[in-house]
Amino acid sequence: MDTELQEYFETYEALFLTDGWKQLVEELKESMKELDSVSNCSSEKDLFFRRGKLDILLQIATFKESIAQRKEEFELNAANDSPNPLEA
């Protein structure tokens, strides 16, 4: 893995260790619980709006895991001398 890519992952890993990140993820999870009820939907439009919000919140809440998975893929490809999966 080249130096620039290593720094990319290290920057995110440092972010994920902060209290602010942990607090953000906890608050996102609480917001997701509140939105994850169709009983409060007044219309189909509201239902789809809530679904969109949930999708976005889930993407942010699981961002740490996504970065860890990408790093693992890069390390595996580097170990196997495979080309960069983002360049394919």
Tell me the residue range of the domain where 72 lies.
3-79
Cα–Cα distance measured from residue 15 to residue 26, given in angstroms and rounded to the nearest whole number: 15
- Output the pLDDT for position 82: 57
87: in domain? no
Angle 57-62-68 (CA atoms, 0-180°, nearest 5)? Answer: 155
Residue 68 in domain: yes
The first and second tokens of residue 41, run together, are 């939907």
86 in a domain, yes or no? no
Question: Over the stretch 38-71, which tens digit does the pLDDT of each residue have?
Answer: 777 889 998 899 889 999 999 999 999 999 999 9
Average of per-residue pLDDT values in the chain: 88
Domains: count for the chain: 1
For the whole model, what pTM was predicted?
0.74
